[in-house]
């Protein structure tokens, strides 16, 4: 039973909610009736849903919806009375009526642009078409067997009693339960507070440990007092001294008893509050969870319509419909699952004639299954179609110039299947409204990566294809490896790292000027986390390096951190959107003692590592880093949207002994500057996202950066352009013709001194 707050919803909003629920129930029941028109319970469900919609539409004055629902109700009543049998043509018309009702419900309030006359004409045309359709019974219906018909769970929903309302789409409710509508913002706030309470309870553990230490110190003090009394000669102690010692011993004993009692109470309180906080957090987390079936409501209709359009016979099955899924993940799954199902219908599923020729049933099967596996959500989208031919992928790779014929021939089947996720990659020669543009699977992979998951393809030619999506159970909690970098904690999500290990410093090798370490027989480049994050490296030369492996085999980096802290489950706290995208960081969280930590954006960090490696600016780590201390090269940030100009400046400055980092525009440069550690900025003016003038203005307004020297290097040589640049705070304004002489290097030396050879 629904309980709504009328103070927060208009009548039109209430109708929109009612229409969402009832059209979903209508769609599911009509699809079930298409399989077996004799199901009386489905007819009853359709009739009651149409009747409810008609009444709700009449109350809010949506007369076209009244016309549509009334026409549908009349047909359902005839079918219930045995005077009509719902054939495919009627199902098609009724489904179009459902679409019309959904569109009417989505229309704005009448005073904001609702064109009732146009909608009423459409409604009357629908009613006339439904009335003209041949609904006569060719023969009396055969008696229905008493045993129930087995149907796919998602297509044949669990129906309520005749007096109950249709099930709500946002949540499957057990009998006797009540559902309360709560905004997503309030749910997120509740979960955040539950997470904070969980963190706060962790403060009791250090307090308990300090109390234990105090108890030990108290015991030691009592022992010291006894030793003092034993060391003093009895003849030297008068009555007053003996009484003082006895009083001190008695007070110490009272303190020990009081401390022991308080410690026991603190320990019990810590246990109770921690248990309560965990239960509160888990319960709040469950509020965010929704059954998998809630996100599948539109797919049976979509599969049915596309299959009919393509002339294919398909049975759609949904398994694990009650599997609990995080609300945010369920919403993000809509587009990827839609792409996978369309691909399965268009690419994978054969026509009935092809299937019969291959010895298969004419009707194919597409199955979506959700389950919890090894602490993660697993979703499988499988079909029993033609499968994916590796030879066809090889030909497509070669035809698009993605690999040479020799390289393509050496690729394994799993490597070939990875090409399907490339943007624009498709094996179809023609483009249709359903597929063929190659924009589907890359969207699937992007979404999976956004939620810290992964996707795998399994296929056998002639037998079918299976996509396995592995996702976190929730976006609110992440299991991560905590590390220390520059005295600050950072978290690397376990789902995004390839491993972590300790590497003896004497196993580091230098290959072509770069430090590497052998991992499973492959040389993996070492990169210091301090260089990537722009923080100071620790002093000393450790005997072993703590390494986090990032990336995939063949494109892997070994990131050197100060030390491993351990694995943790962290409550994810999104960063303030006013901060924008922070380089290499995705979110924040709190440690057990309440200290803040940053969660690393591994994909972004991989791009930073590739950028460092491509420009030969990797700083040494380990023993070589110790040898390099005291000879730090001055760092210059070059900001320019022209690749040629950037590289020309980088090589020129590097040749004169400066450490150069490049940025592709003002926004990229601003993000790099906030990492700190630069001695000079050389910027262009005309750039996308943020121009050089705005970049200089931000630098001068920032407390930490306002003293940083800035040089503008632009093609614009007009006096007003030069004055504009100097007015916002640039120290130098040069034209790009300065490359032809020593003006650029002279200006750099004038601002920050000579570079290090």
107-147 tens-digit pLDDT? 776 555 457 778 888 888 888 888 877 555 444 444 444 34
Sign of CA dihedral 529, 531, 532, 535: positive
Pairing of strands 680-683, 635-639: parallel
Local confidence band at 736 (pLDDT 50, 70, 90 cut-offs): low
Say whether pLDDT at 587 is over 50: yes
Count of CB atoms situated within 10 Å of the CB of 474: 21
Sign of CA dihedral 254, 256, 261, 266: positive
Task: Judge whether 296-471 and 477-627 match in fold.
Answer: no
* Rounded mean pLDDT, 719-747: 77
CATH architecture of 635-752: 3-Layer(aba) Sandwich (3.40)
Say whether pLDDT at 379 is over 90: yes
User: Which among 628, 491, 489 has a CA at the least distance from the CA of 548?
Assistant: 491
221-257 tens-digit pLDDT? 888 888 877 777 766 677 787 788 888 888 888 888 8
Select 296-471's CATH number: 1.10.3720.10, 3.40.50.300, 3.30.565.10, 3.40.50.1220.
3.30.565.10
pLDDT value for 652: 85
564-581 tens-digit pLDDT? 998 887 878 777 777 777
d(CA 251, CA 332): 65
Local confidence band at 287 (pLDDT 50, 70, 90 cut-offs): confident
Local confidence band at 152 (pLDDT 50, 70, 90 cut-offs): very low
Select 2-177's CATH number: 1.20.1530.20, 3.20.20.70, 3.40.50.300, 1.20.120.160.
1.20.120.160
Residue 189, token pair as written in the block: 């706030």
Sign of CA dihedral 514, 520, 522, 527: negative
> With contact defined as beta carbons under 8 Å apart, do 93 and 50 qualify?
no
Percent of the chain with pLDDT over 90: 10
pLDDT value for 741: 58
pLDDT value for 361: 93
Count of CB atoms situated within 10 Å of the CB of 597: 21
- DSSP secondary structure code for residue 498 in this structure: -
**For the chain, what is the mean pLDDT?**
78
Count of CB atoms situated within 10 Å of the CB of 131: 11
> With contact defined as beta carbons under 8 Å apart, do 711 and 734 qualify?
yes
Fold of 477-627: OB fold (Dihydrolipoamide Acetyltransferase, E2P) (2.40.50)
d(CA 270, CA 742): 69
Residue 358, token pair as written in the block: 């291959």
Residue ranges of domains in the chain: 2-177, 187-290, 296-471, 477-627, 635-752
Local confidence band at 492 (pLDDT 50, 70, 90 cut-offs): very high
Sign of CA dihedral 31, 35, 38, 41: negative
Beta bridge partners of 598: 490, 588
DSSP of 697-724, one letter per residue?
HHHHH-TTTTTS-EEEEES---HHHHHH
Ranking 52-66, 341-355, 358-372, 687-701 by mean pLDDT, the lowest is 52-66
């Amino acid at each position: 039973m629904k309980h709504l707050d009328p103070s927060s919803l208009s009548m039109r909003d209430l109708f929109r909610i009612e229409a969402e629920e009832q059209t979903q129930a209508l769609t599911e029941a009509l699809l079930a009736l298409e399989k077996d028109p004799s199901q009386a319970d489905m007819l009853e469900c359709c009739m009651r849903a149409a009747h409810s919609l008609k009444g709700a539409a009449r109350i809010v004055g949506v007369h076209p919806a009244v016309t549509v629902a009334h026409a549908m109700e009349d047909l359902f009543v005839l079918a219930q009375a045995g005077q009509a049998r719902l054939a495919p043509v009627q199902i098609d018309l009724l489904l179009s009526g459902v679409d019309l009702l959904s569109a009417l419900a989505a229309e704005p309030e009448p005073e904001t642009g609702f064109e009732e006359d146009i909608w009423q004409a459409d409604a009357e045309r629908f009613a006339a078409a439904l009335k003209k359709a041949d609904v006569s019974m060719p023969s009396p219906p055969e008696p229905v067997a008493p045993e129930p018909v087995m149907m796919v769970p998602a297509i044949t929903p669990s129906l309520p009693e005749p007096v109950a309302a249709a099930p709500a789409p946002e949540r499957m409710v057990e009998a006797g339960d009540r559902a309360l509508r709560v905004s997503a913002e309030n749910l997120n706030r509740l979960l955040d507070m539950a997470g904070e309470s969980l963190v706060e309870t962790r403060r009791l553990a250090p307090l308990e440990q300090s109390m234990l230490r105090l108890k030990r110190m108290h015991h030691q003090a009592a022992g010291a007092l006894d030793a003092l009394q034993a060391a003093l000669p009895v003849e030297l102690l008068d009555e007053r001294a003996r009484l003082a010692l006895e009083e001190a011993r008695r007070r110490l004993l009272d303190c020990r008893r009081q401390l022991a009692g308080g410690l026991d109470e603190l320990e019990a309180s810590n246990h109770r509050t921690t248990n309560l906080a965990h239960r509160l957090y888990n319960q709040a987390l469950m509020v965010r969870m929704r059954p998998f079936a809630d996100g599948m409501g539109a797919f049976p209709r979509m599969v049915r319509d596309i299959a009919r359009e393509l002339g294919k016979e398909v049975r759609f099955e949904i398994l694990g419909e009650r599997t609990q899924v995080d609300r945010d993940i369920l919403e993000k799954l809509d587009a990827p699952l839609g792409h996978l199902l369309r691909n399965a219908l268009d690419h994978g599923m054969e026509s009935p004639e092809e299937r019969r020729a291959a010895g298969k049933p004419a009707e194919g099967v597409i199955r979506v299954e959700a389950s919890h596996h090894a602490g993660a959500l697993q979703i499988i989208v499988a079909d029993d179609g033609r499968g994916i031919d590796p030879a066809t992928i090889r030909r497509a790779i070669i035809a698009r110039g993605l690999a040479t014929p020799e390289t393509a021939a050496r690729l394994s089947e799993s490597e070939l299947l990875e090409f399907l996720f490339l943007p624009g990659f498709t094996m179809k020669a023609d483009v249709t409204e359903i597929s063929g543009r190659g924009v589907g699977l890359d969207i699937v992979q992007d979404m999976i990566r956004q939620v810290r998951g992964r996707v795998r393809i399994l296929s056998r030619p002639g037998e079918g294809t299976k996509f396995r999506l592995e996702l976190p159970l929730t976006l609110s909690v992440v299991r991560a490896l905590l590390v220390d970098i520059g005295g600050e904690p950072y978290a690397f999500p376990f789902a995004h790292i390839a491993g972590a290990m300790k590497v003896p410093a004497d196993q580091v090798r230098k290959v072509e000027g770069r430090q590497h370490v052998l991992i499973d027989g492959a040389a993996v480049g070492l990169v210091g986390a301090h260089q990537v994050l722009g923080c100071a490296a620790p002093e000393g030369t450790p005997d072993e390096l703590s390494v986090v492996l990032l990336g995939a085999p063949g494109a892997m980096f070994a990131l050197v951190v100060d030390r491993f802290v351990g694995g943790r489950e962290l409550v994810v706290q999104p960063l303030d959107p006013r901060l924008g995208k922070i380089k290499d960081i995705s979110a924040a969280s709190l440690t057990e003692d309440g200290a803040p930590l940053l969660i690393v954006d591994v994909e972004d960090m991989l791009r930073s590592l590739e950028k460092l490696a491509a420009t030969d600016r990797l700083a040494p780590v380990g023993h070589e880093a110790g040898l390099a201390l005291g000879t730090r090269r001055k760092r210059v940030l070059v900001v320019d949207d022209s690749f040629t100009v950037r590289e020309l400046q980088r090589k020129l400055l590097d040749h004169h002994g400066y450490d150069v980092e490049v940025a592709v525009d003002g926004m990229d440069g601003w993000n790099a500057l906030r990492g700190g550690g630069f001695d000079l900025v050389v910027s262009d003016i005309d750039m996308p996202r943020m121009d050089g003038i705005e970049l200089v203005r931000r630098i001068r307004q920032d407390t930490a950066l306002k003293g940083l020297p800035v040089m503008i290097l632009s093609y614009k040589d007009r006096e007003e352009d030069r004055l504009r640049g100097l007015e916002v705070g640039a120290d130098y304004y040069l034209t790009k013709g300065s490359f032809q002489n020593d003006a650029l290097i002279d200006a750099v030396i004038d601002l920050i001194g000579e570079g290090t050879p």
